[in-house]
Amino acid sequence: MPASAIERLTVRYGTHVAVDDVSLAIPERSIVGLVGESGSGKSTLAKALVGLVPHTGTVTGADRVQMVFQDPYASLDPRMTVGASVAEGLKLPRAARAAEVARLLTLVNLDPALAGSYPRQLSGGQRQRVALARALGARPSLLVADEITSALDVSVQGAVLNLIRSLRRELGLSVLFISHNLAVVRYVADVIAVMREGRLVEVGPAEQITSRPHAPYTRALLDAVPQVGRTATARR
């Protein structure tokens, strides 16, 4: 699998430039974290990668991009069973589908018997894993995860983050992991890219970005990350 590269990607909404000339490499088998405030253009970049919004610039090495969305309560069709949702992206003969659905559900640590249930019968964390299984079914070369844990409880978030890391290890998956939570991004990502007002402010290895950031904006973001036992202080 070749590495994916985003070259000079720009997205315009009328006169507003949501993503401004962004170039970013996503090396093979790695997780690239993308952080920024709302309005920074990180979700628009994700949508451009999967072709949901028109853009200029080129994306190479990402012919099969799949995406997992933020809200697990909105990203599964309430009228379709879990199995039907997961099977939707499969390019397989009908007979082979059930087995593949079971394999995919097992891959995301879900009981294959859940294939017959409807999304409303599942918890938020289970739904998010179904969405992951659906995306993996298309055998993506790049997976875009847009705020996939921000609607989940802390106790469930950990399981989804661990799953992303183990999928990278087992399947050699490349992931663009988007989140506003730097602590979460630091935990899963190898490389962190910081985005502000449509532009990339800083890109570097996760440890370096979170311990020795160069850009003042990255520093401000780090200062604002809530930590257990650390009281909030005013902006420096």
Partner 1 sequence: MRALRSPAPLTGLLLVAAVLTLALLGPALWGESAARIDDGAILQGHSPAHPLGTDDLGRDLLARILVATRLSLLLACLATVVGVAIGLPLGVLPAVLPPRGARAAAGTINALVAFPGLLLAMFTAVVSGLGARGAVLGMGIATAPVLARLTQTLAASVANADYVSAARVLGVSRLRIAVRHVLPNIAEPLLLNITLLFGGSLLGLAGLSFLGLGVQPPDYDWGRLLFDGLSRVYVDPEAALGPAVAIGLAAVGFNLLGEGLAKAASRRAVVPRGAATGEALREARSEGVLSVRGLSVAFPGGAVPVRDVHLDVAPGEIVGVVGESGSGKSLTALAIGGLVPYPGEVTGGINLCGQDLSALSPGELRRLRGTSLAMVFQDPMTTLNPALRVGGQLAEVSTTHQKMPRKEALARAVDRLRRVRIARPEERARQHPHTFSGGMRQRAIIAMGLMGTPKLIIADEPTTALDVTVQRDILLLLREAAKEAAVILISHDIAVVSQLCDRVVVMYAGRVVEELTVAELRRARHPYTRALIAATPDLTTDRDKPLATIPGQPPSPFDDPDGCAFAPRCAAATSACRTTRPLLEDGIACLHPQSSD
Residues contributing to the site for partner 1 (CB under 8 A): 37-38, 50-52, 65-67, 69-71, 74-80, 85, 88-89, 123-124, 131, 134-135, 137-138, 153-159, 161-162, 165, 180-184, 186-187, 206-207, 210, 220-232, 234-235
Question: Which single residue is written with the structure tokens 């992206």?
Answer: 89
* Radius of gyration from C-alpha coordinates of the chain: 18
Q: Which is nearer to partner 1, 93 or 229 (CB)?
A: 229
| Beta carbon nearer to partner 1, 77 or 111 | 77
Residue closer to partner 1 by CB (options 151, 200) is 151
C-beta closer to partner 1: residue 43 or 200 = 43
Please name every residue paired with 32 in a beta bridge, in sequence order, or none if there are none. 176, 191
- Minimum distance from residue 151 beta carbon to partner 1 (Å): 9
Q: Quote the least distance from Cβ 2 to partner 1, whole Å.
A: 21
Q: In sequence order, what DSSP letters do the residues of 186-210 get, joined into one string?
A: HHH-SEEEEEETTEEEEEEEHHHHH
Residue position matching structure tokens 């899963």: 188
Smallest separation (angstroms) from partner 1 to the CB of 57: 19
**Edge-to-edge strand order for the sheet containing 142-146?**
65-68, 142-146, 174-178, 31-35, 191-196, 199-205
- Taking the complex as a whole, the smallest distance from the CB of residue 76 to partner 1 amounts, in Å, to 6
State the SS3 of 128-139: HHHHHHHHHHCC
When the beta carbons of 215 and 222 are compared against partner 1, the nearer one is: 222
- Nearer Cβ to partner 1, position 28 or 207? 207
What is the closest distance, in whole angstroms, from the C-beta atom of residue 8 to partner 1 in the complex?
23
Shortest reach from residue 77's CB to partner 1, in Å: 4
5 bridge partner residues: 25, 60
Residue that the structure tokens 């409303």 belong to: 120
Angle at 33 between CA 30 and CA 35, to 5 degrees: 170
